[in-house]
Amino acid sequence: MRIPVIAASFLSLPLFLALAGCSKPSLIVPASLTTIGQATPVTVQVHDTHGVSKLTVSVTQNGAQYQAWQSSAASKSADTTFNFNVGVKTTPQLRDGKAHLIIEAISGGLFHSRARWEGDVNVVTEPPVVSADSDQHYLYLGMADLATLNVTGSYTSAGVRVGDQTFRAWPMPGGKPGLISLFAFAWNMPQGTAPLVFASNGAGNDVTTPLTVVFPKREQPVYTQHEIQVTDQFMQKVLGELDPNGAGDPVARFVRINTEMRKANNQTLSDLRFKTADHFLWSQPFTRQSHSQAEATFADVRSYIYHGKKIDQQVHLGYDLAVTQHVGVEASNDGRIVWAAPLGIYGNCVVVDHGYGLQTIYGHMSRIDVHVGDMVKRSQIMGLSGMTGMAGGDHVHFAMQLDGVQIDPKEWWDAHWIHDHIARRVDLPGFGK
């Protein structure tokens, strides 16, 4: 009669082991941890239902292993975050060059199971040295420009910072020494913000140097104020297209589309900066939609009026270019299609990449005739204009962005500006031919 009891005890063994704690911890280490310097901050997350009894960090270099850090107390929490510094200050034996980082977590369970993470790192103790060109960069709100720079020493990123916005650096065209960075002074950047050339080695060493910037003595652009009369027909059109399954107050739904959806759509556009070529895809000035009239310009401030009451206000970051209904939408320059699909308030939308983070945006189209990955030529027809999205009439919403920051397109339509700000400073193959 004892046999069933023995069998039952064996059947309960997995449960006993689980309760006793034989599961392994899981480690989450940032993928960006590829470089360590004097004291590089590191954040490690550990999950273990039984807590963590110890976290140890060691570095191996040239056949020797050194302890870099160790937790001072156990944690009983199932999710524990460890913050510590690793580098030459904690491990003075390290030298510049390749090394191997090892992070090990020991479970607080009965069997003290272990989890281990390993990764190659580069030890960098000296900051890079960065220098900027001596050109005078003339800027105003919404304008872009090009800077050249040089970086010596080890670095992981470089470019131009303007306030809280960062614009990447790229190798100089034609294999020449140095770097270039197309950067912008955004429409809402506080006046007097100094653009800085920067270089970082990813180990906590970040160096900057200012560009020589001249802001025009004339007043900065005064953005046009517009009142948009929202009719019942337009509101129903917008709600039916962009919130077809929504319920509740129509005005609240309209405002939510105009604010929250607009913000999300602009973030989608900004993220397309990661789909850019590392070289110029164009060689001629950008063209404006043929025979078009501008119904709205860059950074217009729009107040939305419904039944005599202001219900919202937004800034319009582009040009509304109208010709006739369903006119062919022209690519403003050579490039590659990186978006060709509906995009919320922009309706049917096409985005063309021109290289180095420079992209053009075409919204409210009634038909799209290109696909992601297609190469297009300057003035090529990509589809037809329309009034999809938040458009109240047939037109093309044309906009430009640089590394995800929307900029004023008008300078890019000017051959003299292209020469003075781009072609004079770098090799722009085919320009002027």
pLDDT digits (tens, 9 = 90+) for 318-344: 999 999 999 999 999 999 999 999 999
Residues 265 and 413 in one domain: yes
pLDDT tens per residue across span 403-426:
999 999 999 999 999 999 999 999
For 179-189, write each residue's pLDDT tens digit. Answer: 999 999 999 99
Residue 431: inside a domain, yes or no? no
pLDDT score for 296: 86
User: pLDDT band at residue 109, thresholds of 50, 70 and 90?
Assistant: confident
Q: Are 334 and 245 found together in one domain?
A: yes
DSSP for 151-198, please give it: EES--SEEEEEETTEEEE-EEPGGG-SSEEEEEEE-TTPPTTPPPEEE
269, part of any domain: yes
Among residues of the chain, what percentage have pLDDT more than 70?
93
**264-269 long-range contacts, Cβ below 8 Å, gap at least 24?**
264/344, 265/343, 265/344, 265/345, 265/346, 266/317, 266/406, 268/343, 269/339, 269/343, 269/351, 269/361, 269/401, 269/404, 269/406
Tell me how far CA of residue 232 lies from CA of 17, 252, 261, 307, 421, in angstroms: 66, 14, 20, 9, 47
For the segment 286-304, the average pLDDT, to the nearest whole number, is 93
Higher pLDDT among residues 73 and 162, named by residue: 162
Structural domain includes residue 9 = no
DSSP designation for 222: P
Q: Are residues 253 and 398 in the same domain?
A: yes
Bigger pLDDT: 342 or 203? Answer: 342
Question: Which of 42-46, 113-117, 298-302, 369-373 has the largest mean confidence?
Answer: 369-373
Q: What is the pLDDT of residue 218?
A: 57
B/e letters for 347-366, b = 16+ CB within 10 Å, e = fewer, are bbbbbbbbbbbbbbbbbbbb
Question: Closest Cα to residue 243, out of 229, 226, 228, 260?
Answer: 260
Distance CA 271, CA 195 (A): 22
The three-state secondary structure class of 387 is coil
Tokens of 244: 């077809």
Q: Answer yes or no: are the C-beta atoms of 58 and 102 closer than 8 Å.
A: yes
Domain boundary among the residues 92, 123, 154 is at: 123
Phi first, then psi, for residue 191 (nearest 5°) are: -60, 145
Q: Do residues 283 and 320 both lie within one domain?
A: yes
**Closest CA relative to residue 143, chosen from 182, 91, 192:** 182
Of the pLDDT bands very low, low, confident and very high (cuts 50, 70, 90), residue 267 is: very high
Q: What's the Cα-to-Cα distance from 179 to each of 173, 259, 303, rounded to whole Å?
A: 8, 38, 42
How many residues in total does the chain contain?
Answer: 433
- Residue 138 and residue 76 in one domain: no
Other Cβ atoms closer than 10 A to 53: 18
- Confidence check: pLDDT of 3 > 50: no
Same domain, 76 and 151: no
pLDDT at 217: 64
Residue 59 has pLDDT above 50, yes or no: yes
pLDDT tens digits along 354-375: 999 999 999 999 999 999 999 9
- 169 and 29, same domain (yes or no): no
Q: Is residue 337 part of a domain?
A: yes
What local confidence, expressed as pLDDT, does residue 433 receive? 58
The CATH number given to whatever domain includes residue 82 is 2.70.50.50
**Domain limits for position 197:** 129-214
Q: What confidence tens digit (pLDDT) does each residue in 206-228 have? A: 899 999 998 876 555 567 888 99
- CATH code, domain with 242: 2.70.70.10
Domain endpoint, select from 70, 93, 123: 123
Residue 6: its pLDDT value, please? 42
| Domain identity same for 334 and 285 | yes
Reply yes or no on whether the pLDDT at 76 is more than 80: yes
**269 and 385 co-located in one domain:** yes
Are residues 101 and 171 located together in one domain of the fold?
no
Same domain, 149 and 261: no
Contact yes or no for 130/87 (Cβ under 8 A): no
Q: Work out the end-to-end distance of the chain between its first and last CA atoms, rounded to an integer number of angstroms.
A: 99
Is residue 430, in this structure, part of any structural domain at all?
no
DSSP-assigned letter for residue 242: H
Please give the pLDDT value at position 74.
Answer: 86
| Residue 432 resides in a domain | no
Per-residue pLDDT, 222: 64
CATH number (domain holding residue 209): 2.60.40.10
The count of domains in the chain is 3
φ, ψ (nearest 5 deg) of residue 125: -105, -20
pLDDT recorded at residue 7: 44
Residues 257, 263: Cα–Cα separation, whole Å: 9
123, 138, 167 — which closes off a domain? 123
The Cα 269–Cα 423 span in angstroms is 27
Query: Considering the chain, what is the average pLDDT of its residues?
Result: 90
Same-domain pairing of 395 and 290: yes
Domain contains 10: no
pLDDT of residue 430: 81
Whether 166 is in a domain gets the answer: yes
